[in-house]
């Protein structure tokens, strides 16, 4: 990899990371019906990084969003941080799997939906093993899957629209 290519890659990771942190910060300033219920708009940058630059870039963008965003919003090392960390790692793994195995047949929207669903499953896992010892918690799984499909679809559509605009100017 030449120096110019490496510099361009680092610049794009920094842009995606800044976008993720900015969106995360703004979203956390907005009121929500429940404290843990967020759309996850910052994940647009993670999805873009994954499909544009690959897993390492997406992981760096996710970590920037998680760590810097939670420091800025005062959520660093709070329960929200750990819910987001576990959900995000599981979501990134699911998106990577869908991206690698289904790249030719699954769109960026499908990749994002996988991330949304598995992020919510990850959060339920944290809740089940760290907070709520009752297996009745799993009754919420269908609701969390529906929410994940909805938010993942929205995030994926926005990511796709951004991809199209980038290609337009490239």
What local confidence, expressed as pLDDT, does residue 152 receive?
Answer: 96
- For the entire predicted model, the pTM comes to 0.87
Does the structure show a pLDDT above 80 at 37?
no
Does the structure show a pLDDT above 80 at 20?
yes
Does the structure show a pLDDT above 70 at 10?
yes
Does the structure show a pLDDT above 70 at 29?
yes
- Determine the average pLDDT of the residues in 111-132: 90
34 pLDDT tier (thresholds 50, 70, 90): low
Phi, psi of 63 (to 5 degrees): -65, -40
pLDDT tens digits, 73-82: 988 998 889 9
Nearest to 145 by CA among 108, 116, 112: 116
Query: CA-CA distances (angstroms) from residue 146 to 61, 70, 154?
Result: 26, 26, 12
What local confidence, expressed as pLDDT, does residue 170 receive?
Answer: 64
Nearest to 20 by CA among 63, 53, 52: 63
Nearest to 81 by CA among 94, 69, 93: 69
Does the structure show a pLDDT above 80 at 104?
yes
pLDDT tens digits, 132-158: 778 777 888 899 899 999 999 999 999
127 pLDDT tier (thresholds 50, 70, 90): confident
36 pLDDT tier (thresholds 50, 70, 90): low
């Amino acid at each position: 990899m030449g120096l110019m290519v490496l510099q361009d890659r680092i610049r794009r990771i920094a842009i995606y990371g800044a976008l993720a942190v900015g969106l995360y910060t703004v979203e956390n300033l907005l009121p929500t019906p429940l404290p843990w219920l967020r759309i996850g708009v910052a994940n647009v940058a993670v999805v873009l990084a994954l499909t544009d630059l690959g897993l390492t870039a997406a992981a760096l963008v996710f970590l920037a969003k998680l760590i810097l965003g939670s420091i800025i919003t005062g959520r660093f090392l709070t329960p929200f941080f750990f819910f987001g960390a576990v959900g995000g790692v599981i979501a990134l793994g699911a998106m990577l799997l869908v991206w690698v195995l289904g790249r030719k047949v699954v769109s960026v929207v499908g990749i994002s939906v996988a991330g949304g669903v598995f992020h919510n499953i990850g959060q339920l896992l944290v809740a089940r093993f760290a907070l709520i010892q009752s297996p009745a918690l799993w009754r919420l799984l269908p609701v969390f899957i529906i929410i994940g499909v909805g938010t993942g679809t929205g995030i994926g559509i926005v990511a796709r629209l951004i991809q199209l605009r980038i290609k337009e100017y490239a």
